[in-house]
Amino acid sequence: MKILITGGAGFVGSSLALHFKSKFPNSKVVAFDNLKRRGSELNLPKFLEQGIEFVHGDIRNPSDFDCLKETGMCFLNALRSRVS
């Protein structure tokens, strides 16, 4: 099964990606993120170590999904938060 996680390099998304890969090691886990949040790129080496595929893209741009074929599950974690 293929598991797609949008916002995959953020705090929640990366935690989900690592969790699913450990629970379902035979599944393909794909983290999809635009890396706009500072620090998100720090999760990329962890993905490489665990065999999680990373796709750089933006959910607001439909053509960024062209490289992603069939997906069994999709977790939407892409968001933009503001703390005042």
- DSSP states of 9-74 as a string? TSHHHHHHHHHHHHH-TTSEEEEEE---STTGGGGHHHHHHHT-EEEE--TT-GGGGTT----SEE
Q: Where are the domains of the chain?
A: 2-76
Cα–Cα distance for residue pair 29/61, rounded to 1 Å: 21
Domain 2-76: state its class: alpha beta
In the prediction, which pLDDT does 65 show?
81
Q: Taking the alpha carbons of 46, 51, 52, 54 in that order, is the dihedral positive or negative?
A: positive
Residue 4, classed as helix, strand or coil, is: strand
In the prediction, which pLDDT does 75 show?
67
pLDDT values of the chain reduced to their tens digit, one per residue, 84 residues: 889 999 999 999 999 999 999 999 999 999 999 998 888 899 999 999 999 999 999 988 888 888 787 777 676 776 665 555
State the residue for tokens 């990329």.
Answer: 44
| Whole-structure pTM value | 0.84
